[in-house]
Amino acid sequence: MRLSRRSLLHVLIFLVLGCQQKTPVYHDVPLAPLNIQNLRQESTMVFDVRSAEESQRPLLPGAAAMRWDDFLGISPLAMAKLAEKLDVSSEKTILVVGRGKQGAGEDGYIAWIFDIFGMQNVYTLSSEFYLNSGFSAIPSAVRKPAGHPEADPNLFIEAVDFRAYVTQTLPQRGWTSKARSRALGGVPLGALYPPPKSFFGMKFPELQHKVLVLDVRSQNEFEGYNLKMEKAVKAPLLHLSWSEFFDDRGLPSASVNTRLAELGVHKNSIVFVISERGVRSGAVAYAMRSLGYQKVVNYLGGYRQWERQ
C-alpha cells in the first residue's frame, strides 16, 4: 500500500510530536542534611563564586575560582558545557562560597545549578563565615571527570511555559495562519502547538491549577510591580524575600519553614519561583530543596524576561 504525500506528511508530524513528549525523569532525592562537620573533609570541593570585580580580592584559601556571572543569562545547555569543564563528580561534597546575605543570592544560584545537574551534597557559605571557621585548612580535592551532565528538566522553566502556567492558558505558538495550514496539507489549526512542558510527571491540564508562584524579590520591588498587576495572571502569587531563606552563615535556614507554612506552602507543594533575572529565585529553589521542598522550579528569565514578552 502506497501513502499519498499528504498522508506521509501527517505521519511525519505525528512522529515528530510524539518523540517530543518523552516523560521526564526527575531527582526525588532530598539534599543531604546540612552539617558543618560534613564540609570539613578531604573530599570537599570548594568554589569561590564571587564576581569578576569581587574576585580581584585574594582567592579564598583552598578554593577554586568559579565566577557566578559566567552562568548568568544562559540556557541549561550552555550551563552544562560550563559545568562539564569543572570536572565535578556527583560523589563529591561541594561547598559554594560567596557573599551570603550581603550579596544577591549569587552563591545560592550556583548551588542551584549544581543541584539541577544531580549533585546531591551541595552547601553554601558566606566568605566571612568560611574564613572565620577554619575552612582554610581544607586541602584541594582530587577531581575526576564528571562526564556529560544533564540538567533535570523539572527544576527550571522558561518564558513560554511559565506564561502558560501563571495565566492558566495554552500558549499561542507554532503555525497559526490558514495559509500555513493549507501548505501542510490541511493539518488543522493548532495541531502543531506543542503543549506546555510537563513537571514531576504531571501534564499541563492536571498541573495548571496546582502551581503556586513565589516572588522572592525585596518588598520595595514587589510593591513597585508584580505579576498580580497583570489581569491575565490567575495563579496564586506569594511573596517572601530571598534573604529569609538563608542564615547569617550563608546556609539555608530551617526557620523559613514557619513563614512558608503561613503562606500555604508545604513540602509537597509545586512552587514556581521568580526574581528579577533568575538568580535570587535560583538561590531560593536551592534552599527550599535542601530543606525538603522537592517540587520547586526556577523561572530562569525572571521579571526582566516577563516584561519583554
Mean pLDDT for back-to-back runs of 10 residues, the chain (309 residues) = 41 36 40 54 78 68 80 74 65 84 90 86 87 63 54 91 92 53 49 77 93 97 95 95 94 94 96 96 95 94 86
**In sequence order, what E strands does 135-210 have?**
156-157
The radius of gyration of the chain's CA atoms, rounded to the nearest angstrom, is: 22
The per-residue pLDDT for 21 is 39
The per-residue pLDDT for 42 is 57
| Model pTM score | 0.78
The per-residue pLDDT for 37 is 58
Q: For residues 59, 65, 68 and 69, what is the CA-based torsion angle, rounded to 10 degrees?
A: 90
How do beta strands 64-65 and 121-126 pair? unpaired
Q: Which amino acid is at 173?
A: R
Taking the C-alpha atoms of residue 165 and residue 235, their distance in angstroms, rounded to an integer, is 7
> Residue 152 is placed in which grid cell?
533535570
If you ran DSSP here, which 8-state letter would residue 75 be given? -
Q: Which amino acid is at 108?
A: G
Q: Which residues share a beta bridge with 64?
A: 47
The per-residue pLDDT for 235 is 96
The per-residue pLDDT for 240 is 97
The per-residue pLDDT for 16 is 35
The per-residue pLDDT for 118 is 81
Taking the C-alpha atoms of residue 188 and residue 181, their distance in angstroms, rounded to an integer, is 7
- SS3 assignment, position 47: strand
If you ran DSSP here, which 8-state letter would residue 230 be given? S
The per-residue pLDDT for 90 is 62
The per-residue pLDDT for 87 is 61
